[in-house]
Structure formats: C-alpha cells, structure tokens
Amino acid sequence: MNKMQVKIEEARAKGKVGLIPFLPAGFPNREQFWKEMEELDAAGASVIEIGMPFSDPVADGPVVEKASLKCLEDGINLTWILTELKKRKGQFKAALLLMGYLNPVYQYGLDKFGADCEAAGVSGLIIADMPLEESQFVKDAVEPHNVALVPLIGLNTTKERMRLYADGAQGFCYFVSVLGTTGQRESLPARIKEKLAEAKEVFDIPVALGFGIKHPDQLKEFGGLMDAAVFGSALISHIESGHSSDSFMEPWK
Amino acid sequence: MKKGYFGDFGGQFIPELLMPPLIELEEAMKTILPTEEFQTRFTNMLKENVGRPSAITYCPNLSKDLGLDLWLKREDLNHSGAHKINNTLGQGLLAKMMGKDVLLAETGAGMHGVATTVAAAMLDMKAVIYMGATDVVRQAPNVGRMRLMGAEIVAVESGTKTLKDAINAALRRWLSDQETTHYCFGTAAGPHPFPTLVREFQQIISKEAREQFMARNDGNLPDVVVACVGGGSNAIGMFHNFVPDESVKIVGVEAAGTGEPGCYSSAPIDHGTDGVLHGMMSKLLQTEDGQIEPSHSIAPGLDYPGVGPEHAHLDAIGRVDYTTINDAQAINAFKTLSRREGIIPALESSHAVAYAIENREKLQGKSVLVCLSGRGDKDLGILDQIL
C-alpha cells in the first residue's frame, strides 16, 4: 500500500481527517521552506504536497501563482527539489507528493524523474494539466518506482470517468471542490456532497477534498464523505503574513 | 484513448475539469457542424457579413520590382480586417447552437478579440475578451473597437502580460464558467478539438485561393504558397488545400523578433523544442527546465512562444518549410507593399510578404501566393513610434 494511503488511514483510525498541506518548493525562500516542511510534518500532516513551480500554472489562482513565480525567480527547479529531498530522505513522517504541470517533468525526463523521486522518498505525483486520456505514459514511467499518480477529479467528472480514474489508482483521490482555480472561498458549492458520495462509492482509496479550503469548520458538513483535506492558498497567505506553519495547523490538530 | 494528434503533436493536456466542455465541443462538432442548418447559416454569414469570397490580387508593381509573380489572398478585406472572422463566426454559431450565451476569447493583436466581439454581437451573445496588459496598450484601436461593440475587456497583468498570459487567464475563466460560456479559441493551437475546429473554419482560405489562382492562371497551381505563423491559424487555413499538391512549395514564416542575439523570438519551430503548453504537445520556446520563455515580435499576433500542433507535424514530415523574418524585414515589407501597391498589410502578414522580398533571387520567375491575413491600420501606432 502506498505511504500516502497508509498515513491518511492512520489519521482516520484516530477519528481524524488526513491533513494535506501544499507549499511551493522553495517558498517563502530556500532555507525557510525546509523549516516550514518540518513544522508541517511535526504538526501531523499525513501528506505534504510540494509544488513544482511552473511559469504558466493555468489551474492555480493568484496566491499559488504568485508564490510559484517567486520561487522560479529564486531559481527553484526540479533538480534542486529532488536533490534537497534526497538529502533529507527518511526525515519526514508524512508522505511526500510532488504537484505541478507536465512540461517541467517532461523536460526533466520521465524515467529519470521516476527514479529520482524514489531516491528522494517521494510517494506521489499530481500533474494538474494531464487528464486521464494523456496519463498513461507518465504512469508507466513513475509507478515502477513506487510513485503513485494521484487522480484529480471534480464536480463535473462523470461517474463513468471516475471509474476509469479509479482503475488501478493508488494513494488517494484528489477531489476538486469548485469549478475554478486554487484559492480560498467563503463557501463551497452544495453539489459537493452528492459528487463526493459518488467518488467514495467508486474509489477504494481515500478521497481528499481540496481547492478553497481554509478552515476545518468548512469540512463539518462533509463528515464521512471525505478522508482528507488539502489546503494551499490559505497556508501560503498565512506564511506570507509572517506567521508559522505550526500556528496554521493548530486548529486542524 | 488519446485523441487529436498530428503525428507526435497535439493531444489534450488540460486539467480534468476542462475535459467535459472539450468532450461536449467535440460532440457538437460531430452532430451540429454537418447539419444543413449550420452549414446554410454559416455560408450565408460568410457571404453577407464577411464578404467572402475574398479576392486574390495580382501585384503588378512589386512583381516587376522583384522579378516574380506576386499574388495576395486578401483576408485583409474581410469584415473586421483579418482572417480571424472566419473562425469566430464558425465557433460563435456552433456555440449558439450548443445553447451557450457567452463567447470568451483571448487576443494578442486584438484582431481575434474584435472578430469574436463581432460574432457575439451578430449572434446576440456576450463577448468577454482577455488581453495581456502590454497588448492593451500596443493595440489601443482594437480595444476601442471591442468596447464600442460591447465586449467586456479584461487586461491581464500576470506573467509577460502578452498573449500566452491572456490564454492562461481565459482558460481559468472557462474553468469557472464552462456551463454558459464557449471558449472561442483564436488559433489552430490548444487542446483537441481546437486545432481541428479552427482549421475547419479557416481552410476556406486555401479552398478559395486554390480555385481563384487556377482560374486566373490557365489551371496552373502557384509555385510557392506563403503565410505567417504565430499560433498558425491563417497559415493552416492557407496551407490545408495545397498540402496534397506536391508541386507546390509551402512556406511558413515565423517571427525572428529583433534578430539580434539574446532576443526572444516568436519562432518555436525554428528555435524551440518539444513540450507541453496550453493543452498541446508542440514546439515551444522554453528553458532546459521546461519553463516557458517570453517571446518577442513587433507583430503582436505572432508574439507567442508556441505553435499549433499541425504545424509542428508538417515541419516534422518536411511538407512545409518554416523560416523566419525579423522585425526590420517585416517593417520594410509593410512600407514596400503600402507604397508600391496601395495595400497596408498587418505587421503579422508583413512577415509573409517579406519572405518574397528577402528571397527574391531564388524566386525569380516563380508565382508566389501570399496570404495577406490582415490589414495594418491597427499597427500604425506601433509604426509611428519606430518610423
């Protein structure tokens, strides 16, 4: 069983929702990024999503885009991310996942990427601009290295497509809560419940809810329909305003 | 399961949340496009509103100067001033018949934005146009036209503030508004089915040009067919019906920017490598790390770091020769065609005209048919700053 699934199910066994924070690699700067990673890990994150910065992040809202572009300006690239992770392999209790867009991964070389992820202790991968139809060649390259390609589905994904995504899926399923980009929202669409129920029925791995999540109170009405929560923009804004990851995680503990 | 490939290029590299509207669009192409109702309405709009068929024009003075027979396919004579209207009316009508009421578009030079706004007005739809903040300044006359015709203009301040960022922002808007909105993609690029859909609406350029040229030249085909290539919609339209004609040399002209070392060009086929952007696997200007490079051309409509996947394929199989023209050569062509024939070409189209001028020695005695994709009134502001 993939480490991401193990960690989320550990949280569930304690009656908790799995916590999946997202931070762009190298944010807010190279040194502090690792301090934030350590705090997120110590605060009980099940999976930590590390963003691979890309110049044209079409699925991201303004907060993640701005943070990612800043990381690019600071020279963050996949070589840095994987090299630094390799140095710290085994230091994190949480499972590690890389999230980004296909082109940087494609240029890095898919086979090398899979092998280097394994060497760096990365358990999962999300490619935001790669639907089911285009995913096989990436899956073939990373799965032999025990890196799961996490399916990303949403409110407009039919049950039929969910089934295709679920076939052989590992780790967890990422359910996008809104038709839109990443970023905090005051309220979430009412349709989520019905679609989450469908996803829970189709996937036999944990289902995580992400996009627009900023506080645990938002999740109360989804009890039993989700296993984990993903939060990125709210965490980035919190760090940008001078606070620590640890204090952000406090209400989630 | 993979769809929409031209050889190794194309595909659907977009977030899962955009797959349903793309599947819906693909379905509409199969069920609505072939109907008599669509075809009749579309043909009538092209005739009555666009002014099709557009002329082909022989250029006697420039032909004499250059020692070749120069012909122009006059997309600049279309209503709204460029080839873009063929595509926007087609997509607009399709969207209307799909039950959408908003046309969303990105634009660089502004011509696609204007054409989308025209289509929206004609079809009683709303137009929402995304444009890089830099291009809003560079193409002020077109911004004015769009506003006059009722479009909502969104100036995009992120990234390089040009076409690629306008596309990113428009894709984000489409994510949210997909139920009511059709993304009227402006060029033969992007995720499947856009490259095929746009070619379907633009191939009328070469259908007409081929028939018109043969009618004027005793049934003979031109020796050379030329078009400028940004995303590549006028070019794919101009090339499509000549591709099977083996005797016809086909030339695509990319923008070399200033031509100076270190300048970001807009020539991904000549200077780029394989990669994924805006939903397609194609040729891109990018760093070794896969970050997209900013592009540069004096012609805003060519200022794009990618190219439609069918062009990447036509290059890979050697059917089309892709070459480059720089800003100075394009400006020279802009002035030359204006003075010698009384036709002011768009800066984009000037790159294609410049090919004939710069290569006149090897084209001696040949017939050269150039797609004049748009008119240059919109570019006088840019030229005022330079000349």
Catalytic residue among B79, B83, B112, B351: B83
In one letter, which amino acid is A184? Q
Which chain B residue has the Cα nearest residue A181? B172
Contact B168 A58 (CB under 8 A): yes
pLDDT block averages, 10 residues each, chain B of length 387: 93 96 98 98 98 98 98 98 97 98 93 97 98 89 95 92 89 93 97 98 98 98 98 98 98 94 89 97 98 92 95 98 97 97 97 98 98 94 79
Query: What pLDDT, on the 0 to 100 scale, is given for residue A191?
Result: 85
Residues in chain B with CB shorter than 8 Å from the CB of A58 are 14-15, 168, 171-172, 278
> What confidence score (pLDDT) does residue A182 get?
74
CB pairs under 8 A between A and B: 113
Residues of A in contact with B130 (CB under 8 A): none
pTM: 0.96
CB B46 within 8 A of CB B204: yes
* Residue B83 bears catalytic tag: yes
Q: How far apart are CA B306 and CA B77, in angstroms?
A: 27
Q: How far apart are the first and last CA of chain A?
A: 25
Residues in chain B within 8 Å Cβ distance of A179: 17, 175-176, 178
Q: Which is nearest to A232 in space by CA: A177, A166, A162, A154?
A: A177
Q: Are A54 and B16 an interchain contact pair (Cβ–Cβ within 8 Å)?
A: no
Cβ contact (<8 Å) for B276 and A103? yes
Collapsing DSSP states into helix, strand and coil, what is residue A234?
helix
Tokens of B162: 């040009």
Cβ–Cβ < 8 Å for A150, A22: no
Cα–Cα distances in angstroms (integers) from residue B235 to residues A35, A130, B165, B341, in the given order = 52, 28, 23, 23
Do the chains contact at A133 and B2, CB–CB below 8 Å?
yes
Give A181→chain B minimum CA distance, Å. 7
Beta bridge partners of B183: B104
- Nearest CA of chain A to the CA of B282: how many Å? 11
Concatenated DSSP letters of B114-154: HHHHHHHHHTT-EEEEEEEHHHHHHTHHHHHHHHHTTPEEE
Angle at B178 between CA B143 and CA B166, to 5 degrees: 35
How many Å separate Cα B281 from the centre of its chain? 18
pLDDT for res B365: 98
**How close A223 comes to chain B (CA, Å)?**
24
Q: Over the stretch B215-242, which tens digit does the pLDDT of each residue have?
A: 999 999 999 999 999 999 999 999 999 9
Residues in chain A with pLDDT values less than 50: none
Answer yes or no: do A55 and B172 touch at CB < 8 A: no
Q: How far apart are CA B263 and CA A114, in angstroms?
A: 35
Shortest CA gap B271–chain A (Å): 16
Q: Å from B78 to nearest chain A CA?
A: 33
Radius of gyration, CA atoms only, chain A: 16
Q: Would the CA dihedral through A149, A155, A160, A161 be positive or negative?
A: negative
ipTM exceeding 0.90, yes/no: yes
What is the side-by-side order of every strand in the sheet holding B5-6?
B5-6, B9-13, B279-284, B273-277
- From the list A157, A153, A235, A220, the residue with the least C-alpha distance to A188 is A220
Q: Per the residue annotation, which of A36, A39, A49, A65 is the catalytic one? A: A49
DSSP B286: B
Q: Give the separation between CA A171 and CA A123, rounded to whole angstroms.
A: 8
The set of residues, in sequence order, having a beta carbon less than 8 Å from that of A184 and lying 6+ positions away, is: A63, A212, A213, A214, A233, A234, A237
Strand order, beta sheet including B126-132:
B152-156, B126-132, B102-107, B181-183
Residue B158: its pLDDT value, please? 85
One-letter amino acid of B286: Q
Asked if B175's CB is within 8 angstroms of A59's CB, the reply is yes
Which of A108, A131, A157 shows the shortest C-beta gap to B12? A131
Q: Which residues contact B229 (CB under 8 A, 6 or more apart)?
A: B235, B252, B253, B254, B269, B302, B307, B311, B322
Q: Do A131 and B288 touch (CB under 8 A)?
A: no
| Chain B hits for A133, Cβ within 8 Å | 1-3, 11-12, 19
Look at residue A186 in the predicted model and tell me its pLDDT. 67
Among candidates B175, B278, B284 on the partner chain, residue whose Cβ is nearest the Cβ of A180? B175
Tens-digit pLDDT profile for residues B133-162: 988 988 888 999 999 999 999 999 988 888
| Positive or negative: CA dihedral B38, B44, B49, B53 | positive
Instruction: Give yes or no for a contact between B118 and B91, defined as CB atoms under 8 angstroms apart.
Output: no
Question: Would you call A65 helix, strand, or coil by DSSP?
Answer: helix
Longest dimension (CA), chain A: 45
Q: Which neighbouring-strand residues pair with A47? A: A95
| Beta carbons of B104 and B119 less than 8 angstroms apart | no
| pLDDT on residue B139 | 84
- Cβ neighbours of B193 in A, within 8 Å: none
Rounded to whole angstroms, how far apart are CA atoms B266 and B303?
6
Say whether B240 is catalytic: no
- Predicted local confidence at residue B163, as pLDDT: 86
Give percent helix, percent strand, percent coil of chain A, each to the nearest 5.
45, 15, 35
For an interface test with B, the pick among A52, A54, A55, A165 (most B C-beta atoms closer than 10 Å) comes out as A55
